[in-house]
Structure 1
Amino acid sequence: MLSQTRPAGSDTLTFLGAIMRNPHQLGAIAPSSKAVARLAASIVPTTPGAVVVELGAGGGVISDAIRDRLPPGGRQLAVEVNEGMVDHLRRSRPWLEVISGDAGDLGKLLREAGLSQADAIVSSLPWTLFEGAQQKRVLEEIAASIVPGGSFSTITTLTVMPFQRFRHFRGLMNSTFATVATLGPIWRNVPPALVYTGVTADNRLAGEVTGG
């Protein structure tokens, strides 16, 4: 059905064109594979009406994987800073709510869309292109924008693991979320990739356990 709305290969061509025009804005050399997209989207909840937000939607491969898992009545939004990608997503995926903006302003962008929080957030942001302070700011925005007990997933490649900015980001994941897990690797991605997941603390459950 989706193949009828856009020419075959248009996602990849749009992605590669965006890299050539602005190589410092995208952290990947190629779109994520469908296998990685499915892994990142595996956190999408089954609760009817769930709200799922994607950060750095790019060419839309992960958007499709999220849509495949979205429960009945669910709402799917995508935040993308690259205007060429924004235009492509709006043309190729009219069912997707595309927001042109920066993930560092996530709370504000969600409020403008009539939302306070999301049930899950899926990211392919280029964390190693961000300075440490920017990593912290964006992760804090993400955590504050997820319901208690909600989930976050983000894609990273094995090639960035030796770098200090990746180690800093990995430490921030541990300090930001109640639990963190690693999925993968997916060796057939270019380059091979991992998915990190985080779950926000559910203070409501803690209150029930302690009698608060």
Structure 2
Amino acid sequence: MKKILISLAVIAVVSAIGFGATTAYFSDTETSSGNTFTAGSLDLNLNKDSAYTIAAANLFTESNMAPGVSVGPKTLYFRNNGTIAGKVKLNTSYVNADGTPNAVDVSDDDYAKNLLVVSGVTDTIAVQGYWAQHIITTNYSGNAGNAVTDGAVYDMGSGVYVPTVYGLKGITLYFDDGVTPFIWNAGITHDVALTLQLSPAADNNYQSDGVAVTLTATMAQWEDASF
């Protein structure tokens, strides 16, 4: 009996040693350091030349407009000079810019209603008809006759409409394919060529009247759903 107890005691000690032992395994540790998160930039260039060296101010400086006579085309060049993707919209506004002598002062809106965008070309694609339809749909519930009467679009005949500067003031233009806005990745360029004309319907009251038109291009981050 004494021998058995001694044997059990030895077993207990061995078991205790077994549970207390440390098991060794190979290991290797690596680190990923220097992770930086710097905001990119949106930088829209707007120029009068494809080399982007001439600022776009005063694209048109016309002082001798006559009814039915077109001026242009003149081209605006756009480029995303930033580092992140964006999308671009274009808005139109105008203020008085009468010449002298000005015997009859035609209102700015009336002059803008008679200043036609007879051609608008984006990257070789004619878009003046699309702009006119956008005006008709957005502001005149699709009624082209009402848009013509109000001076927002001009009827060139045979159901062909072009926008007026007055009509363009009431909408926002986007660079898109008719459905989805263009993605302006870094370095992407587009251009818009414009030809304008004083309406053939402008009478003597329009002599020496005028407007100064501003085109405002705005770029927003591509992911901005509110833009």
Structure (1 or 2) with the greater helix fraction: 1
From the CA coordinates, give the structure whose radius of gyration is larger.
2
TM norm structure 1: 0.24
Kindly indicate whether structure 1 or structure 2 has the higher relative contact order, using CA contacts under 8 Å at least 6 residues apart.
2
TM norm structure 2: 0.23
